[in-house]
Amino acid sequence: MILHLGERVYWGAPGVIYLEGIIIRLDEESQAVLVHIDRATPNSAHLIDTDVSFAADGLALLQGESPERLPWLCINNMETRSQHTRKKQ
């Protein structure tokens, strides 16, 4: 396992389904990683502020900046999340 506590990781593909957050727990024996989600695409926004378990080989380290300025991304921010909810209705 080459991941470490506190690293920012993501799962999915921007523009399709995307979850991003910080590693809060690693289990080297089972190769499981617990990630606190703080960014997601609108269809996954209900997972923001939750802890989600992933297989270590299903995650990728975030390289460079988070794509937070893209219009499809919900951020750990209630105002931004509610704006996206209103747009969908």
Domain ranges of the chain: 8-88
Q: What is the pTM of this model?
A: 0.76
Report whether 17 contacts 39 (CB < 8 A).
no
- What pLDDT was estimated at residue 89? 42
Query: Which residues are CB-neighbours of 83 under 8 A, at least 6 positions away?
Result: none
Query: CA-CA distance, 23 to 40, in Å (whole number)?
Result: 15
Span 33-48, average pLDDT:
90
- What pLDDT was estimated at residue 10? 93
Give residue 64's pLDDT band: very low, low, confident or very high (50, 70, 90): confident
- What pLDDT was estimated at residue 66? 72
